[in-house]
A and B are shown apart, each in its own frame.
Chain A
Amino acid sequence: MNLKQARNFLKEVEPFLSSDRPQLVFDMSQVRHIDAGGVDVLLQCMREAIKHDGDLKLASVSPQAAVVLELTRTGRLFEIYDNSTQAVKSFSSFLPNALKHYYPHPAHHVTPIINPEAFVGGSDSADVAA
């Protein structure tokens, strides 16, 4: 993902980011190359999502992209999951008990694949991230 591709991508994603409480998962399995422009766009998306009280998570990050995220110190800013299903499910993990009755989901445990040392406790990562 270079600067030009990243800008086009940002235009496509913008309507979702500006919605109320956007909960987005970017499946990065097809991203083999990412440069500073691509990382910048990911950060912009994250910023916009947080501004609207939402969140952005990454899934299926390729080792190549993971190296660049680690290099640019941005890997620790995102919750990263093995696949998009886990990432989507993780959004409902943090519902209050009262609402879990209406949004049931199977018990699961997610483990970030990138930068596990950033999450103290390893397997307790979901709690820490919450």
Chain B
Amino acid sequence: MAVPKNTKRLISNTFKNYKFGFKTNVKTVFSTPKGLTKEIVTSISTKKNEPKWMLEFRLKALEIFNKKPMPKWGGDLTKINFENLHYYIKSQNKTQTSWNNVDPQIKKAFETLGIPEAEKKFLQGVSAQFESEVIYESVQKSLSQKGVIFMSTDEALKQHPKLLKEYFGKIVPANDNKFAALNSAVWSGGTFIYIPKNVHVDLPLQAYFRMNAKNMGQFERTLIIADEGSSVHYIEGCTAPSHSSNSLHSAVVEIIAKKGAKVTYTTLQDWSHNIYNLVTKRSFVYEKAQMFWVDCNMGSKLTMKYPAIFLLGEHARGEIHSLAFAGKDQHQDSGGKIIHGAPNTSSLITSKSISKDGGRATYRGLLKANKGASGVKSKVNCDALILDDKSRSDTYPTMKIEEDDLELEHEATVSKISEDQLFYLTSRGISEEEASSMIVNGFAEPITKHLPMEYAVELNRLLEMEMTGSVG
């Protein structure tokens, strides 16, 4: 028995309408010409009044970028034209701490995205990046009084040069990969967070990234340091207008979770379908610390992103929860990497992917236990749902083991919506529409349950609404 036609139609409506494709008309304050040269990199650094070491860091990274070949694995990167991009665009002179001072057009864009409203309701700090610069940032006074630092990385370079010099580029060095090198050369914006010892940030801190211009590259750089015994939840969201030509988003995220700290990093990636999203994210996790990546990839043309966790202290724990939707002309090449570098560390990877309308969802992962990492426990689960015969699903998990005293489990399955489940639900009087929407929601649930309530509700509603074919 094949899946009923009606169900197929409903499914094909899922994720069809991209809600955030609006464009904002705003004057540019400063923009580098198209292309990538030593002069352009230098002009970005000069414009930002950066210390000499940062300019040197950038120029060295540019050399590395030019030397490194394009990766040949993963998605199709051949259509990226590095000469046809603007690497730095500034739309506002100064980062504002009140929405009233933000350019009205930009403010309107973020209002449409619901950021100021969310800030009032359930966030303790917000940073908003438009093109290359952070245009708004604010953190609750109670937090700054405790010594929490939450600001753009550019601002942090001015105000906390010592911390930056100590940690910047140490987790993800410029020569890590071609796109980390590119980011290191032209980075701008992003978030810097420092949580002092034993401080717990109860509500999430959020950063929102918006790309508006055509043919641009956004290269934010985020650095999070959670000192001993502290905890923080950081959420990032990203959207862009649907232009006909392609743009590039290439971020680097570095996280340090010191002894006993807990860091949760949640991404809701919903770029328009003309964006190449090539991101390097990595965390160093020390003794008894915990790191959680919750990674939801719904947008972009091609995403290549594998959040990594290095478990470097005893009893450290790492979890990666990854959800990917690949629709028409989309390729989500995502996954996660966990390296067990210390004894008695544990980890969990859960990956769920859905592909439809010719989309391609790829899970690519690495699980490594270094020699000496005894008593390691790890579990990897990847499930894929293929909704039609035009779509494709791949799974490439790698396991490298140099230790005998460990427990490792891996499992992967690929399936379609089960007819038995559909039959069971419809026999209970549930309409086929509702049933298939329930099944897709249920499939995604192990990931969405890790989102803060407000986001989980939003994501589920998005799924449901579009499953019933109505426009939201």
**A and B co-occur in one complex:** no
Which A residues fall within an 8 A CB radius of B?
Answer: none
